[in-house]
Structure formats: C-alpha cells, structure tokens
C-alpha cells in the first residue's frame, strides 16, 4: 500500500494531540454497530466497575467486501472535516451508499456533531490514529498503543458511544503488534485495494480514471474528506458511484 507523504495539515493534528494521555479502552456502551461489549477495567476505574472492551476480531488486514464478489467498499479517510464531510455525506445519501469513515482522533473530538451525523446515516467508523504518523511501523509499541487507543477513545466519545469497527494504519504502516492490539479491541485492521490518489488533487477526471482502472485490484476504495480542498473528491464520487452501480457492483462494508 502506498504511503502518503507531505501532509503539512497533520502538523496541526499532531499539535492538537500533544498532552493527550494514553487510554486503554473506550467508554462502555451497548451500540447498534458494536453490540454488547466486555473486557477489562480502564486505568483508574474501580475494580468493581470494569470498563468493557469490544470482543476481539481477526487481526488479518481486511480487503474483501461483506457483499461478496461484486461488492465494493467506499472508505473515506482523515476527517471529519466541517466543510467536506457534509459534502461527502450528501453525495453518499443521493446514491444510497453506505461508507466507512476512517477518522483522526482529534478531528473527531473537535467535531462530535459530524461523527454523530455519520453514525446516524448508517455509515461505519474506523480508527485512523491520533496524528496520522505514516512511520508508525518504526515506532515503539507504547507509541503505537497511544496512537490507536487514544483515537479509539476520542472517536467513541464523539459518537456518543459507537465504537470504531476498524483500524486503518496511516499510509498502511501496520505492524503485527498494532494489528493484534486493534483486533483485541474489536477493530479489524483495514487495508485498501484501490487508491484513488484524490489526496494529491490530480483533477476529477484523473481520480475517476484511476478508480476505474484499478477496480480489478479489489473492492475497497480509498478516498479522503479532509486534509485540504476535497472538491475534486466530491465531484469524483458523483461520477464513480453511479458508474459502479452500472457495472453491477453493490455497496457494502469491509469484512469483519
């Protein structure tokens, strides 16, 4: 999986993340997405009131769709963003498509209304770490844990208790440790098959062409709703979504 470099916008995210203390589990809630959850106590939680943790899932990196061979997964990274996430949500609504939103922890914390809107529309949540460090696979296990679990906590709090069901490593920088950790918290590691390259803003036509040419690679398509002007992404989705339907694809979620 290609790594995205040169994301100056994430400097602000890193700054926002400073001072965030590592947490070991997210809030305990029974949610439509995650179902009943159970596990060990959070640090500082009295022993007689353990903080539940989601049931573990496979630590294998998911690429397939739960809709089978003709299924396709739309995944949206780096938000939520107050300008572009609503635009993306509107296009998805127009075409009746559900997507998976891979959120940056501080972004979710800053825009809880958008996180709740994403959930209310029937989309799924994905943990995309605290600071989008594409070199996470070179860092200590303690650092990886902080990045993944703090973001999980922020997203779950912002959503009103709905847990992220997936974990996507920034730039695909997974490690055996990060995959096992995420899976133990009920978050299936999530890859992609088709990189739309929309982050580079190559033009709407180029984005659409890339998606069409790479669809034989597999069903999970990567788009972005933050990190800069995403107008090309919105325009590309308006072309890609109906084209995928015309090709006989149905829209689903990554396998769990």
Tell me what percent of the residues of the chain surpass a pLDDT of 70. Answer: 80
- pLDDT value of position 21: 36
- pLDDT value of position 197: 97
CA distances from 67 to 32, 63, 72, 127, 255 (A): 20, 12, 7, 22, 9
User: pTM of the full predicted structure?
Assistant: 0.83
- To the nearest whole number, what is the mean pLDDT of the chain? 85
CA distances from 138 to 104, 130, 143, 144 (A): 20, 16, 10, 9
Q: Which of 35-44, 184-193, 236-245 has the lowest mean pLDDT?
A: 35-44
- pLDDT value of position 241: 98
> If you average pLDDT over residues 128-152, what whole number do you get?
98
Tell me if 29 sits within 8 A of 220, measured CB to CB. no
> If you average pLDDT over residues 133-151, what whole number do you get?
98
Tell me if 212 sits within 8 A of 243, measured CB to CB. yes
Q: How does residue 52 score in pLDDT terms, banded at 50, 70 and 90? A: low
Q: Is the pLDDT of residue 13 over 60?
A: no
The three-point CA angle 226-229-233 to 5° equals 75
Q: Is the pLDDT of residue 31 over 60?
A: no
Q: Is the pLDDT of residue 27 over 70?
A: no
| 77 φ, ψ (degrees, to nearest 5) | -105, 155
Q: How does residue 54 score in pLDDT terms, banded at 50, 70 and 90? A: confident
Please state, in angstroms and rounded to a whole number, the distance separating the CA atoms of residues 121 and 144: 31
Please state, in angstroms and rounded to a whole number, the distance separating the CA atoms of residues 62 and 32: 21
Q: Which of 10-24, 33-47, 137-151, 233-247 has the lowest mean pLDDT?
A: 33-47
- pLDDT value of position 48: 34
Q: Is the pLDDT of residue 19 over 60?
A: no
Residues marked active site are found at: 77, 224
Please state, in angstroms and rounded to a whole number, the distance separating the CA atoms of residues 213 and 196: 10
Q: Which of 48-52, 217-221, 222-226, 241-245 has the lowest mean pLDDT?
A: 48-52
Is 45 or 168 the better-scoring residue by pLDDT?
Answer: 168
C-alpha neighbours within 13 Å on the C-beta side of residue 228: 13
């Amino acid at each position: 999986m290609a790594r995205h470099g040169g994301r100056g916008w994430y400097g602000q995210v890193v700054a926002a993340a400073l001072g965030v203390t590592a947490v070991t589990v997210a809030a305990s809630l029974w949610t439509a997405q995650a179902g009943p959850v159970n596990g060990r106590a959070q640090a500082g939680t009295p022993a007689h009131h353990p903080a539940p943790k989601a049931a573990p899932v496979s630590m294998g990196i998911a690429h397939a769709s739960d809709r089978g061979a003709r299924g396709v997964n739309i995944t949206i990274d780096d938000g939520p963003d107050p300008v572009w996430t609503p635009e993306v949500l509107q296009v998805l609504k127009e075409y009746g498509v559900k997507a998976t939103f891979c959120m940056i922890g501080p972004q979710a914390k800053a825009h809880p209304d958008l996180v709740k809107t994403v959930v209310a529309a029937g989309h799924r949540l994905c943990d995309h770490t605290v600071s989008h460090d594409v070199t996470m696979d070179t860092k200590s296990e303690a650092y990886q844990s902080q990045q993944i679990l703090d973001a999980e906590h922020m997203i779950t709090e912002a959503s009103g208790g709905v847990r992220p069901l997936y974990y996507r490593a920034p730039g695909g920088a997974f490690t055996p440790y990060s995959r096992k950790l995420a899976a133990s918290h009920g978050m299936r590691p999530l890859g992609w098959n088709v990189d739309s390259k929309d982050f580079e803003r190559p033009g709407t036509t180029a984005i659409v062409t890339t998606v069409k040419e790479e669809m034989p690679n597999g069903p999970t398509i990567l788009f972005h709703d933050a990190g800069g002007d995403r107008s090309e992404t919105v325009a590309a989705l308006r072309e890609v979504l109906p084209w995928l339907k015309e090709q006989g694809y149905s829209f689903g979620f990554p396998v769990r």
